[in-house]
Amino acid sequence: SLIGSPVILKILQNWVPRVSHYFDKEHYTYAGHQIVIQESIEHFGAVVWPGALALSQYLESNQEQINLKDKKVLEIGAGTGLLSIVACILGAHVTATDLPEVLENLSYNISRNTQNLNMHKPEVRKLVWGEGLNEDFPVSTYHYDFILATDVVYHHGALDSLLATMVHFCKPGTVLLWANKFRFSTDYEFLEKVSNIFNTTVLAEFPESNVKLLKATVREN
């Protein structure tokens, strides 16, 4: 069951839209840094969705409660990389993952926005939910302090694989931060499954955007 009463927030317009003919380049500012994101029109994962804005904003504003400095952070479904870049700026060792076809744009955005920073350089890796987890990310070697996931739940057939991926990475001591737009019954059904497996708290709600930000940890008994 869900614990706690969430803080009610709105997603701040801290970006300046710029439109070019072929690619959209969006300019954001988080934690005092200008971030330029190239969106790809060919791929669903290559657009900045509201959950990424919501979690980026929350991490920027709550650095004492959620201290990412020198922590190991994994983002699943990183898309354009905005959130991974913000986590890097906040001092984390970031691994950004997504499907193979998204990695080129993801790598481009991450390297271009972090190359001049005196921070841990993020790593970009392929991760198909539910596939090859034990081979590519064996639990004996890979332990993460935080798993970040934004807008990973929408109309797709991979929800069971997504849940299996969350379970694989969410070990004792790991915090899963998941921000998502909640519109459909499938979104709430997935939330129910997460709540059945993990200790789940709603940290924040962004009612204007229908976004909820959840924190989940492994039940240790």
Q: Which long-range contacts (CB under 8 A, 24 or more apart) does 100-103 make?
A: 100/126, 100/128, 101/43, 102/40, 102/43, 102/45, 102/46, 102/78
Residue 92 tokens read as: 């984390």
Tell me: pLDDT of 15 over 60. Answer: no
Stretch (H or E) spanning 87: helix 82-89
Q: Are strands 33-39 and 24-30 parallel, antiparallel or unpaired?
A: antiparallel
Give residue-wise pLDDT tens across range 18-62: 544 445 578 888 888 989 888 876 665 567 789 999 999 999 999
Pairwise CA distance, residues 126 & 73, whole Å? 15
Three-class SS state of 213 = strand
The domains of the chain are located at 44-218
Class of domain 44-218: alpha beta
Give residue-wise pLDDT tens across range 104-152: 999 999 999 999 888 999 999 999 999 999 999 999 999 999 999 999 9
pTM for this entry? 0.90
